[in-house]
Amino acid sequence: MKDFTEGNEFSQIIKFAIPLILGNLMQHLYSVADSIIVGKFLENGEQGLAAIGAAFPVIFFLVSLVVGISNGGSIIISHFFGKKDLEGINKAIETINIFLFICAIIISVIGIMLAEPIFKAMNLPTDVIPEAVTYLQIYSIGFMGMFGYHAVSAVLRGIGNSKTPLYVLIISSVLNILLDLLFIVVFKTGIEGVAWATVIAQTFTFIAVVIYLNKTHPLIHYRFGLQFDTKIFKESVRIGLPSGFQQAFVGLGNITLMSVVSSFGTVVVAAYSVAGRIDMLCSVPAISLSMALSTFVGQNLGAQKITRVERGYKVTMASGLGITFIITILILLFKTHIIGIFTNEENIIPYGTEYLTIVSPFYFMFTILFISNSVLKGAGDTLFPMFVTLLALWVVRVPISIFLSNHFGEIGIWWGIPTGWLVGMTLSTLYYFKGKWKQKKIVRDEIILVE
């Protein structure tokens, strides 16, 4: 366990964030490896890339609300840890477990039963729909492992441990890649093999990290369904639901944008899928730093040390922007080669490089947006980030993308992305400096556990 309430802010946040960065990269390697192997080794790689790209926003939409609430539990755990309340930590763990177990069953059924109607509603090209349905249905079987891993990660982040999930994820990512190659190259299973590889790898990750935690941690035990504390659950919902709604509407917005992209055909959908994987990897440092800062904020506000929070924000922002600048330069220099890693199809590469040329110079906006929002979320002030995200997406990005695409083709969709980031970055930064988050209470007094 790591105590963030004492010591140098920069070194604490960076040391905590580095395993998160590596861990998130490993976790994203699931979908990146899927895309590369499908694009390189499947005969119908173009349709396969488009299918995975279409499935991703649907998966994100299905899981985001639940993950948001579990992240609310992580903030509660960090607060309990700041107060040295181990009983509160264990009750929060068990409460989150019960919630996620039930949700995993429900969402798995939804993903399996409604896959085809969802993709038809997205106006996906007809040659892509069968593979997209197969991928989503099989992937949905693995939601139990995915949610379980998110629960364990939420616990470990709350107590300041970011290294344990990393080690397991490295093994799991390697397993996923090997299974991808086995199913696709050796057994010639098609896109269903890619989905099964991901399910197996995610389930392994969950089981391995639970075993490790229970065998090695002297005070915190990961158990299933022994105690459900309604006060802790309500507080998790209060803190995490706005973020969950935010991400759910982001997912819905991405589904809407995918339906717009689909109108330009399979090749553009495939290019959008590849570019989205690259975006995802490039956003990992900013997202990981924001996760580290959120835990830092939760513990220090629990200990009533606001000045440390402000210093933590400054060093995190400087670090995030420095890393983002380097990433942007590399993307602009090697964009064609990077797209080529994912596909052998020459007709996909121009659309992918066009996307990166427009979007990557504005990655710094995304970084500022996420790091500013992480302070608010760590303080339990999650409503404002939700409203900002919804405004930037639904009032700015989606309408502008639709309007511009009607006049300028697919390039209009690409320009809608940084436009939304600009609005979100501006509003979140202004709200941070206004300082209302300092008045928020992370966990209300009435849920402090007293037997």
Each of the 451 residues of the chain gets a pLDDT tens digit; together they read 567 788 888 999 998 888 888 878 877 877 788 889 998 888 778 899 999 999 989 998 888 877 777 777 777 877 777 777 777 777 887 888 888 888 889 999 999 999 999 999 999 999 999 999 999 999 999 888 888 877 777 677 666 666 776 777 788 888 888 999 999 989 888 899 999 998 998 888 888 878 877 787 765 666 655 678 888 888 888 877 777 777 788 889 889 999 999 999 999 999 999 999 999 999 999 999 998 998 888 888 877 788 898 999 999 999 999 999 999 999 999 999 999 999 888 899 999 999 999 999 999 999 999 999 999 888 877 788 888 988 999 999 999 999 999 999 999 999 999 999 999 999 999 999 998 887 765 544 444 333 3
pLDDT confidence of residue 451: 33
CA 3/CA 80 separation, integer angstroms: 12
Residues with Cβ within 8 Å of residue 109, at least 6 apart in sequence: none
pLDDT for the residue 443? 46
pLDDT of amino acid 158: 64
Name the one residue in this structure whose structure tokens are 């006060």: 231
Contacts for 304 with CB less than 8 Å, ≥ 6 apart: none
Please enumerate in sequence order all residues whose Cβ is within 8 A of that of 119, keeping only pairs 6 or more positions apart, or say none.
54, 58, 128, 129, 132, 133, 136
d(CA 340, CA 353): 10
Q: What is the pLDDT of residue 415?
A: 96
Alpha carbon of 356 to those of 189, 307, 412: distances in Å? 32, 39, 13
pLDDT at 216: 76
pLDDT for 448 = 39
Cβ neighbour number for residue 280 with a 10 Å cutoff: 16
**pLDDT value of position 447:** 41
Is residue 96 within 8 Å of residue 236, measured between CB atoms?
yes
pLDDT the model gives residue 336: 95
Cα separation, 349 vs 354, in Å, equals 8
